Copies of this chain bind each other. A is one copy, B any other.
Amino acid sequence: MSGQGGIVQEEVKIGVVGGSGYTGIELLRLLLRHPAVRLQAVTSRHEAGQAVSARYGNLTGQIDLTFVEPELSVLTACDLVFFATPNGVAMQLAPDLLAAGVRVIDLAADFRLRDPAVWEQWYGMAHACPELLTEAVYGLPELSRPAIQQARLVANPGCYPTAVSLALLPLVSEHVVDLQRVIADCKSGVSGAGRSTNANLLMGEVSESFKAYSVTGHRHLPEISQTLAAVNETAVQLTFVPHLVPMIRGIHATVYAPLVTTLDDLQTCFTDYYAAEPFVQVLPPGSHPETRCVRGANQCQIAVHQPQPAGPIIVLSVIDNLVKGAAGQAVQNMNLMLGLPEEMGLQQIALLP
């Protein structure tokens, strides 16, 4: 592929490793309509030999590929490879792909934490290529756009970290938040857990109910802390509690941020920070974002409140966990890495109702 001033002359060849899960299918939905790329290979160990279109009914008639094994020779024929795999897979293949000149975007957690010791602590395995952790760019465009544009290897952020980080970036970059006392109370639809064979995610178990989970410690905690600490150059003591909502898509972060100083204009702090961002929308004062307003769209909608003068700032932030929280953000990163217009292929309006 080569581009000139944003003009793409050839289609980029794309590989998707792990194309049979929810994140994979969402990547396919976006990539199949992306005007500048072509799906070259979609892999799935379990589904190899099956038509990709047979895996999910929404792909009927949309794609001619067959799932293949994730072999290196298949993937090195691509210009860019997405990993929509469980944690621990991308780190096995990424070094060889990079060596072959293939760019890599990992939608799992393999390259999100910069400290291999922290990674091993939270993910329970040794890292296969710790030397790549410093090269890997954390793919939150609103935070690190220039680095992503230059990156060979991008760690696509987790869904909760995306929602929480976008909620806090304007305040944290102003150094007005007491980062020892921030609380992120987060709520996610069930697709966040993937299409795993887990009786605890049966509709009979999770519909018509609400619960917290992983209160004792969730892997997205060190990821969020790392981002906030880097911005503010300070230690962070974050409380993060995820909850399971009886719906399929959507994350809602309710972030409580005590201030260490006064802030002149809360709303302006946010609207200024995100003024040029295509995928973050700051709602008018007094708003309450709804997850359905971003369903299927690569958008984050944010509202900010301070109901009591002595109380914390309350930031409400919603994303579709499979889009801005996963596949959509990955395509956004791809666009940046390839020099394509950042919004290309990502202009879907959310499906409402």
Residues of A within 8 A of B (CB): 22, 25, 29, 32-33, 56-62, 180-181, 183, 185, 187, 189-191, 193, 195-199, 201-213, 215-217, 237, 239, 241, 243, 245-250, 252, 254, 256, 258, 281, 283, 286, 288-297, 301, 305, 307-308, 310-312, 314, 316, 318, 322, 347-353
Contacts and interface: CB of A to CB of B under 8 A. Distances in A.
Main secondary structure of the interface of A (DSSP, over half): loop
Contacts of A58: 292-295, 297, 349-352
Contact of A201 (B193, B203, B283, B308): B203
B57 A290 contact: yes
B25 A352 contact: yes
Q: How many copies does the complex hold?
A: 4
A10 to B, nearest CB: 22
Given A183-B312, A210-B187, A248-B208, A57 B292 contact: yes
A307 B215 contact: yes
Contacts of A190: 202-204, 207
Contact of A349 (B59, B292, B305): B59
27 contacts: A22-B204, A22-B353, A33-B348, A33-B349, A57-B292, A58-B293, A58-B294, A58-B295, A58-B297, A60-B281, A60-B293, A60-B301, A180-B310, A181-B181, A183-B185, A183-B256, A183-B312, A187-B187, A193-B204, A195-B205, A195-B353, A197-B199, A207-B247, A209-B291, A211-B291, A215-B316, A239-B314
